[in-house]
Amino acid sequence: MIHRDENVDHLKLPEEPATIVTYFNKDGENCTQEKQAVAKSIEIFSGYDNVSCQYFVRVGSGEVLDPHETHARLNQQILKRFPFRKVTKDAWSAYSNYLKNKKRQFFTNARRLIME
């Protein structure tokens, strides 16, 4: 039986997974708050060089949030209508490129990948 204060280093248990959440604003730059973010990524480090990444984009009512055109005036009411939805790495990459470059072709590609 192991007690709370007992040293268990000899068991070589894996460390607890560390989670890093990164939020991105409409220009594809890091931001500090979820309420300002249009996308986010979550990295989970579970020791032994094991890294798991998940990607999220704001999607609502069958459409992807477009912070440069349709939804250019971002406010809290718009962001509430577009909750984060998990997307593939390819969709994330296309959406991220759109945020940074503002080229419509990246948004079109991201929307197609997300809505598949």
Euclidean distance between CA atoms 87 and 93, whole angstroms = 10
- Please determine, for residue 2, whether its predicted confidence score (pLDDT) is greater than 60: no
**Angle (deg, nearest 10), helices 104-115 and 89-101:** 160
Question: Model's pTM, two decimal places?
Answer: 0.81
Q: What residue spans of the chain are helical by DSSP H?
A: 76-81, 89-101, 104-115
Q: Domain map of the chain by residue range?
A: 15-115
- Please determine, for residue 1, whether its predicted confidence score (pLDDT) is greater than 60: no
Euclidean distance between CA atoms 52 and 45, whole angstroms = 7
Of the candidates 49, 43, 53, 39, the one whose C-alpha atom is nearest the C-alpha of residue 97 is 39
Q: Look over the chain and give the mean of its residue pLDDT values, rounded to a whole number.
A: 87
